Structure formats: C-alpha cells, structure tokens
Amino acid sequence: MASGSTAAGLRVAVILPCYNEEAAIGATIAGFRAALPAAAIYVFDNNSGDRTVELATLAGAAVRREPMQGKGHVVRRMFADIEADIYVMADGDATYDAAAAPDMIQRLLDEHLDMVVGARASEVDAAYRRGHRFGNAVLTTILSRLFGRTFSDILSGYRVFSRRFVKSFPILSSGFEIETEISVHALELRMPVGEIVTRYGARLEGSASKLSTYRDGWRILRTILTLFRIERPVLYFGSIGAILGLVALVLAEPLILTYARTGLVPRFPTAVLATGLVIVAFLCFFTGLILDTVVRGRREVRRLAYLALPAVEG
C-alpha cells in the first residue's frame, strides 16, 4: 500500500484506531495533516455506530474496517496491512498533540530507536481522570518491578514505531491491554526506545472515553501477570514454590520438635500435607527451569525475526 513520503524519502503512515469518534476524528486528522503533510493517514474503524467513517473519509483519510471488536484486534490489523518505514499511532479522539509527531520521528531517527512513546502531560484535570492516573502509576511500578525497567507512561496510545518493530511484533492482545503488550515486547527484546513528554488535552464535547477504569485496569494487570508468567517462568514458579515451601516449613516445625523429643509423629495428616507441599514446591521450581529454556528459545526466534528487518535510516 502506498504511504506518504518525508523529505528524507521515508514513508510515514499515521494510523488511527477509532470507535465512535465522530466528534473528534475530523480534528484529529486535520492536526496530523498539518504536522505531517507528506504522511499517509489511515483510520481503522472498529464497528462505529455513528458517522466516524463518513467524517474520516470527508477529512481525506484512507478508511479501513476491523470487524473484531477491541483495540488489540485493530492494532494487529493496522500493523499487518499498512506498509511504511515509520508508523505514528495515536487515538482518534484529538487528545494527543499531533504537533509533537515531527519531534518524535526526529528522535527515532537521530537516536536510531525502534519506538518513541509520547508520555502524557495533562494540562487540565478533565483530560486525565484521577482513577486512570493512579492506575497507570500502579501498573507502571509493577512493570518496573517485574521486568527491571519501564516507561513513565506504559498506557500511552501515542507512539512512533520503526518498521522492524511493527513487522516483528506478534500481537496477542484483543483490547486496551495492547499498550502493555507493546511495552513488554520492547523491554523483553531490549530494543532501543525513548520517550518524549507530550501535551494531553481534554476530549472534545460529544466524545467519550471507551476505557473503563476498573474493568480495563484489571485486564491490563492480568496481562502483566500473564506476560510475567510467560517471560519470567523461573521467578514466577519459583515464587510459588517458595511460598509453598514456607507453608510446609511452618506446618512441619511443631512436628519436627515433637519428633525430636518423643520420637513420635502425633499429627500424621499434617505430616502428609507438609510433605506434599514440599513435593509441589520442588515441582514448581523445576517447572520454572524447564519453561525458562523454552522461553529463551522463543525469545531468540523473536530477536532473529526483529533483526531480519533493516533499521530505519534517516
């Protein structure tokens, strides 16, 4: 597919996932058209029931449709269908600062990065609800503890990608947890990434957030834990084994002391339970070791797929 070209000869594609954004999609497209006049702008509609498709078409964007409901499905389709050298992804709600896109692209090129995240800095309370701000901070901290490093805004939907990131990313998410999966993918493969603080504005009148603080927050947390289990099996299953071993030790302590004094085991069922917990603890530990070997192999395959694609050269 054709994409816009920059002065440096690079094709830039602005990709906008949308669901019921008739109030803001026109302004979003106009903002990116002004910031990146040579870029191709694509709107991927996700079963909108309003005039999103009509208004996006009138604004001059190329409109595609993704029938499977959920942002993860939309991003998967965008990454698969659009051909470009640089991808600028944002939401269609006009909350992200389109004027920051050229700086984000330049940062990607100057530092030879594969992703630049637009970390949100809201100017009004209405732009970034307290529940979302708190949840983002909690999830960012959890990700940092689990994976050793993180971004300051892991849930930002404003990102610039290189082609090799987009075409080597095996998307599994279906909903708003897609940003978390993107962040973990970059961290796990130790890709060169960066952040730029960008303005984040309030939604336009008539536009409503599709993100549920509690439902989607739980899904994002569950995604982090699932990715932790998949990517860090030794630590995940080892922690379970350590907890089971500690419980077994607590249960066995009085039995051991009684046996040392009397030579008897008065609570035989407790002894059986403690022994079973120790066995399960060892099984968890060895399960983690075995799965770690599998994960290393999978990670090597993903790394090779990533390296098979050329880096962006500005």
Closest CA to 143 of 153, 133, 134: 153
pLDDT of residue 7: 44
pLDDT band at 173 (very low <50, low <70, confident <90, very high): confident
pLDDT tens figures, 12-21: 999 999 999 9
- 10 Å CB burial of residue 268 (0-12, 13-18, 19+) is exposed
User: Mean pLDDT score of the chain, rounded to an integer?
Assistant: 85
The 10s digit of each residue's pLDDT in 151-160 is 788 888 999 9
Superfamily of the domain at 4-230: Spore Coat Polysaccharide Biosynthesis Protein SpsA; Chain A (3.90.550.10)
pLDDT tens per residue, range 245-301: 999 999 988 888 887 788 777 777 888 999 999 999 999 999 999 999 998 888 888
Burial of 57 (0-12, 13-18, 19+ CB in 10 A): middle
pTM beyond 0.75: yes
- Asked if residues 21 and 88 have their Cβ atoms less than 8 Å apart, the reply is no
Per-residue pLDDT band for 125 (boundaries 50, 70, 90) equals very low
DSSP characters over 176-239: TTHHHHHHHHHHHTT--EEEEEEEEPPPPTT------HHHHHHHHHHHHHHHHHHH-HHHHHHH
Residue 194, beta-bridge partner list: 116
- Give the C-alpha separation, 8 to 252, whole Å: 70
Percentage of the chain modeled with pLDDT above 70: 87
Residue 167 has pLDDT above 60, yes or no: yes
Would the pLDDT of 33 be above 80? yes
Q: In whole angstroms, give the CA distance from residue 166 to residue 174.
A: 16
Kindly tell me the burial class for residue 294, based on how many C-beta atoms sit within 10 Å of its own C-beta (0-12, 13-18, 19 or more): exposed
pLDDT at 229: 86
- Three-class secondary structure assignment of 207-224: CCCCCCHHHHHHHHHHHH
Cα torsion 284, 285, 289, 295: sign: positive
Give the three-class secondary structure for 293. Answer: helix
Q: Other CB atoms closer than 10 Å to residue 269's CB: what's the count?
A: 7
Q: Tell me the mean pLDDT in the region 82-91.
A: 96
What's the average model confidence in pLDDT over 43-63? 94
pLDDT (tens digit, 9 = 90+) per residue, 218-239? 777 777 778 788 888 998 999 9
